[in-house]
Amino acid sequence: MKFKMFSVVVGSPACIAKCPFCVSCETPDKDNLKNYEINWRNLEIAGNLANRSNIDTVMITSRGEPLLFPEQISEYLKHLKEFKIPFIELQTNGILIMKDKEKYDKYLREWYRNGLTTITISVVSHKYELNKKNYMQDKADYIDLPELIKYLHELKFCVRLTCVCCKDMMDTSLKVAEFIKFAKDNKVEQVTLRPVNDEYRRDSAHFWILRNKLTEENKQDIRSYLENNGTKLLDLERIGTIYDVDGQNVLLSLPLTKYTRDTNPENLRNLIFFPDGHIRYEWEMEGGILL
């Protein structure tokens, strides 16, 4: 069995944001913020499988916001050392880092020392108002994104902006060009453009997505822009295409759907470790389980 990516799942579906397209999006409460024991024995099995697949990147991710569980991230990093995977990434909306800098500064420095290489910040745009509307539902302030990027760079992290592309937020080549310029101006190392995924969503998200997903014309417009203005660097099978656009690294990502599934066990996309010890190769299909 061979995999392309290794994901380890932190925490619970709790998140301080409320994106309308989110799979889980639970308000934090005493039940979903509980800390629990991670099945380290099975992490070792998953890590060995990742090594057998020559995986070079592990993504620390969550059904909600991983930063709500900083102690778990610290523990994961200590255990992941054993597998010597070169790139260790953390996916976050970044909001807590800026809203509680005192608390997270200590963790970020520790995580850097323990091998975390990349912080992947989820956004829907480079524009404050659009991120505020999407993440905070306009009920609270959003963060100063350039400040967050600068701060993470000062801590020596590599920064990736992952933009979930939706209608009226990131749906044209013009907006993509502005986003890429923002990334370049802020010295962001990597950009990912991910059209919002319209499969496997909770009902309320599903209806929002049907109204707000990119059309085929939007996607074609963006792809043509990258083809015409960038240099194709890498074609990553069932993951996407990486371009250099005026010196900015840009991945146009393919969604995780049935169309990007390969049933050949030597070419599986994702090896996913869940804290209870379950190891899966599908995020949403309950049957895609190894342990």
In the numeric block, which tokens belong to residue 281?
């190769």
In the numeric block, which tokens belong to residue 190?
């990597």
Residue type, 55: I
Q: How far is the CB of 264 from ligand SF4 (least distance, A)?
A: 30
Which span (19-27, 154-162, 239-247, 266-274) binds ligand SF4, by CB under 6 A? Answer: 19-27
Q: Is the CB of 47 or the CB of 94 nearer to ligand SF4?
A: 94
**Overall size of the chain counted in residues:** 291
Residue of the chain from 5, 10, 22, 165 that contacts ligand SF4 (CB under 6 A): 22
Q: What is the β-pairing status of strands 248-253 and 268-273?
A: unpaired
Question: Would you count residue 77 as binding ligand SF4 (CB under 6 A)?
Answer: no
Binding-site residue total for ligand SF4 (CB under 6 A)?
Answer: 10
| DSSP run (H or E) holding 60 | strand 57-62
Q: How far is the CB of 201 from ligand SF4 (least distance, A)?
A: 11
Which span (10-18, 202-210, 212-220, 239-247) binds ligand SF4, by CB under 6 A? Answer: 10-18
Q: What's the rounded Cα separation, in Å, for the pair 115 and 1? A: 27
Question: Would you count residue 145 as binding ligand SF4 (CB under 6 A)?
Answer: no
Instruction: List strand residue ranges (DSSP E) for 138-290, in order.
Output: 158-165, 190-195, 231-236, 240-245, 248-253, 268-273, 279-280
Question: Would you count residue 80 as binding ligand SF4 (CB under 6 A)?
Answer: no
Q: Are 90 and 110 in contact (CB under 8 A)?
A: no
Question: Would you count residue 94 as binding ligand SF4 (CB under 6 A)?
Answer: no
Q: What's the rounded Cα separation, in Å, for the pair 12 and 237? A: 30
Question: Would you count residue 9 as binding ligand SF4 (CB under 6 A)?
Answer: no
Q: Is the CB of 12 or the CB of 118 nearer to ligand SF4?
A: 12
Q: Are 291 and 277 in contact (CB under 8 A)?
A: yes
Residue type, 31: D
Q: Is the CB of 120 or the CB of 190 nearer to ligand SF4?
A: 120
Residue of the chain from 5, 8, 19, 90 that contacts ligand SF4 (CB under 6 A): 19
Q: Identify residues 23-52 at the interface with ligand SF4 (CB under 6 A).
A: 25
Residue of the chain from 5, 7, 11, 65 that contacts ligand SF4 (CB under 6 A): 65
Q: How far is the CB of 90 from ligand SF4 (least distance, A)?
A: 13
Residue of the chain from 5, 8, 9, 17 that contacts ligand SF4 (CB under 6 A): 17
Which span (18-26, 69-77, 228-236, 272-280) binds ligand SF4, by CB under 6 A? Answer: 18-26
Q: What is the β-pairing status of strands 3-10 and 57-62?
A: parallel
Q: How far is the CB of 140 from ligand SF4 (least distance, A)?
A: 13
Q: What's the rounded Cα separation, in Å, for the pair 279 and 288? A: 9
C-alpha angle with apex 64: 166 to 6, nearest 5 degrees? 90
Region of 94 please: left (phi>0), alpha (psi -120 to 50) or beta.
left
Chain residues in the site for ligand SF4 (CB under 6 A): 15, 17-19, 22, 25, 64-65, 93, 122
